[in-house]
């Protein structure tokens, strides 16, 4: 049970408060200014104009003294060049005070930084409290003496009970009154912790000493003053309805989309490496099957080239998404539980940011290799192949996002992905005729975009060939001849009328898998804290 001004409060306290957690979580590729602008878009209500949000960001930057690093990338300490640990801690404060909360909770704000930076952080907090009228509550361990003296009040806890509550100077007098005077040249905070800590092997002695201090406080004038404050609050403070404006769903999605796009564009491993890979593979594939002649050997080569389209677009996409998506999960969990946005906004923005990246690279590969291979040259056939490959890649995107969303860890997602893609590809129609698959597992093909994509590509290519040479590449007559495109389609047990149905099935498949991924992500996020 938590009381404020003597009144019990529940979750509604989050409307007037903010919580700065010990661990800093940011998108490391953003600059300080970009981060705060996007956080302002996510946190400030829709009633704020763009100009008002910009002014609020500018004010926060000034309050937290972030002007020197405003255009620097945040980076990752020890891994990627960026802002200092002290600046990162101040950026955490800046993020949380964008909404101008009256009450601020800070979990060990000086952890992980040196004494000079710790003093500077607490000095900033002191100024915020005195100049802006905020109540700031910090948990802090072993502060330097000059840092400790800046706090207006300190609360010492032992065994879940209050051992003292008052000003730092009063704490010194209280300890002296209970026969624990602080030795000269000793940091008061260190001494307080030593007297209240439970030392292994000396539990009985330490607990007795802590209880002595607790009991002394319960009988002291300082405890009486605390009760007077509480009675005053109960008597004079009336509970007021708390309302905070909300940010529209569209604004949330747009801000998260912009954040994700910037993150992806600045990640060469995701964007440029993939693009170069697809260009290289397009040239290689086109060279491998360069101007394939439409004869009996050519049929085999073209079937292999079309199936390779599916494999390349699938494997690189699924594994690519699983490589980069898990890094966002801790930030998603924090921002969701802080009430900044619902999971659906993050999920939709993520899909919107990944679709163009993983579509463009696949299109490059197909555009480069299509005419090099010598596939059917009409523009309509080319566009149909391109559209089919886009749907194939979107199917892979949906599966990659789904597996990352439902899997507890990256390692588990990878362990599932390999066998799953193998099963789906084997039942896709190249390695085994779809009609000869044993009936006990034949149903698997209907969950495979390999199957629907391959059938569509085969129909689109071979339905235009009425006469195919029965010769082999060496000029000899083939023993078994597929003399037309229709015979190629029929021998694979594909149906020439299935083209539109396959497209519709893949679209339906994509939507269903995205929904499964969303449900899995919601459950993971809700269980994560």
The confidence score (pLDDT) of residue 324 equals 67
Q: pLDDT, tens digit, for every residue of 208-239?
A: 999 999 999 998 998 888 888 777 766 665 55
Interval 500-509 mean pLDDT = 96
Higher per-residue confidence, 363 vs 235: 363
User: Among 131-135, 141-145, 468-472, which range has the highest average pLDDT?
Assistant: 468-472
pLDDT(427) > 70 = yes
Interval 303-314 mean pLDDT = 95
* Domain definitions of the chain by residue range: 249-527
The confidence score (pLDDT) of residue 245 equals 64
Confidence of residue 243 (pLDDT cuts 50, 70, 90): low
The confidence score (pLDDT) of residue 202 equals 85
Runs of H (alpha helix) within 97-138: 115-132
pLDDT(5) > 70 = no
Interval 24-51 mean pLDDT = 91
Helix axes 203-218, 188-196, angle to 10 degrees: 110
Q: pLDDT, tens digit, for every residue of 277-307?
A: 999 999 999 999 999 999 999 999 999 999 9
CB within 8 Å of 17: residues ≥ 6 apart: 101, 102, 103, 104, 105
Confidence of residue 512 (pLDDT cuts 50, 70, 90): very high
Q: What is the pTM of this model?
A: 0.85
CB within 8 Å of 384: residues ≥ 6 apart: 456, 460
CB 217, CB 174: distance < 8 Å: yes
**Considering Cα of 362, then 295, then 496, then 464, what sign does the dihedral take?**
positive
Confidence of residue 79 (pLDDT cuts 50, 70, 90): low
Mean pLDDT of the chain: 88
Judged by DSSP in three states, 340 sits in: coil
Q: To which residue do tokens 């704020």 refer?
A: 48
The confidence score (pLDDT) of residue 230 equals 75
Confidence of residue 472 (pLDDT cuts 50, 70, 90): confident
Sheet holding 103-107, edge to edge: 17-20, 103-107, 135-139
pLDDT(179) > 70 = yes
pLDDT(147) > 70 = yes
Residue whose C-alpha is closest to residue 96's, from 70, 130, 63: 63
Q: How far lies 33's CA from each of 37, 55, 400, 416, in Å?
A: 6, 12, 32, 40
61-68's contacts with Cβ under 8 Å and 24+ in sequence apart are: 61/32, 61/33, 61/36, 61/94, 63/94, 63/97, 63/124, 63/127, 63/128, 63/132, 64/90, 64/91, 64/93, 64/94, 64/97, 64/124, 65/90, 65/124, 66/32, 66/90, 66/91, 66/94
131-140, 341-350, 370-379 — which is least confidently predicted? 131-140
């Amino acid at each position: 049970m938590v009381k404020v001004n003597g009144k019990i409060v529940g979750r509604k306290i989050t409307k007037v408060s903010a919580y700065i957690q010990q661990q800093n979580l940011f998108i490391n590729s953003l600059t300080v200014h970009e981060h705060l602008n996007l956080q302002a878009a996510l946190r400030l209500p829709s009633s704020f104009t763009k100009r008002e949000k910009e002014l609020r960001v500018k004010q926060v930057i000034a309050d937290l003294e972030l002007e020197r690093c405003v255009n620097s990338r945040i980076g990752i300490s020890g891994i990627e060049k960026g802002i200092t640990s002290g600046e990162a801690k101040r950026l955490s404060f800046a993020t949380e005070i964008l909404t101008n909360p009256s009450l601020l909770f800070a979990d060990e704000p000086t952890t992980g930084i040196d004494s000079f930076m710790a003093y500077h952080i607490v000095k900033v907090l002191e100024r915020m409290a005195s100049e802006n009228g905020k109540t700031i509550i910090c948990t802090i361990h072993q502060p330097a003496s000059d840092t400790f003296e800046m706090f207006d009040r300190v609360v010492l806890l032992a065994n879940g009970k209050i051992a003292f509550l008052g000003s730092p100077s009063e704490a010194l007098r209280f300890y002296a009154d209970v026969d624990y005077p602080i030795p000269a040249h000793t940091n008061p905070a260190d001494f307080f912790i030593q007297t209240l800590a439970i030392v292994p092997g000396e539990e009985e002695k330490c607990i007795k000493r802590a209880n002595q201090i607790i009991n002394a406080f319960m009988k002291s004038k300082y405890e009486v003053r605390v009760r007077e404050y509480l009675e005053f609050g109960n008597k004079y403070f009336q509970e007021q309805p708390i309302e905070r404006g909300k940010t529209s769903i569209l604004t949330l999605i747009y801000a998260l989309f912009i954040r994700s796009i910037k993150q992806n564009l600045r990640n060469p491993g995701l964007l440029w490496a993939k693009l170069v890979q697809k260009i290289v593979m397009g040239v290689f594939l086109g060279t491998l099957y360069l101007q394939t002649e439409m004869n009996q050997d050519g049929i085999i080569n073209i079937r292999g080239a079309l199936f390779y389209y599916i494999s390349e677009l699938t494997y690189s996409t699924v594994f690519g998404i699983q490589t980069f998506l898990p890094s966002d999960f801790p930030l998603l969990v924090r921002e969701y539980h802080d009430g900044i946005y619902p999971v659906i906004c993050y999920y939709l923005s993520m899909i919107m940011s990944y679709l163009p990246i993983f579509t463009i690279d696949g299109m490059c590969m197909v555009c480069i290799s299509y005419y090099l291979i010598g596939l059917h040259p009409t523009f309509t056939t080319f566009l149909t192949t391109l559209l089919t490959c886009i749907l194939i890649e979107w199917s892979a995107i949906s599966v990659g996002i789904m597996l990352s969303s439902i899997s507890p860890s990256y390692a588990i997602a990878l362990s599932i992905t390999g066998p799953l893609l193998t099963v789906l590809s084997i039942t896709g129609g190249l390695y085994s005729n779809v009609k000869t698959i044993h009936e006990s597992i034949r149903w698997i093909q209907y969950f495979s975009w390999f199957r629907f994509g391959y059938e569509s590509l085969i129909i689109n290519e071979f339905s235009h060939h009425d006469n195919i040479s029965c010769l082999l590449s060496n000029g000899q007559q083939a023993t078994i001849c597929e003399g037309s495109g229709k015979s190629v389609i029929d021998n694979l047990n594909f149906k020439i009328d299935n083209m539109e149905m396959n497209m519709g099935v893949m679209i339906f498949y994509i939507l269903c898998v995205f929904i499964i991924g969303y449900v899995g992500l919601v459950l993971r996020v809700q269980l994560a804290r």
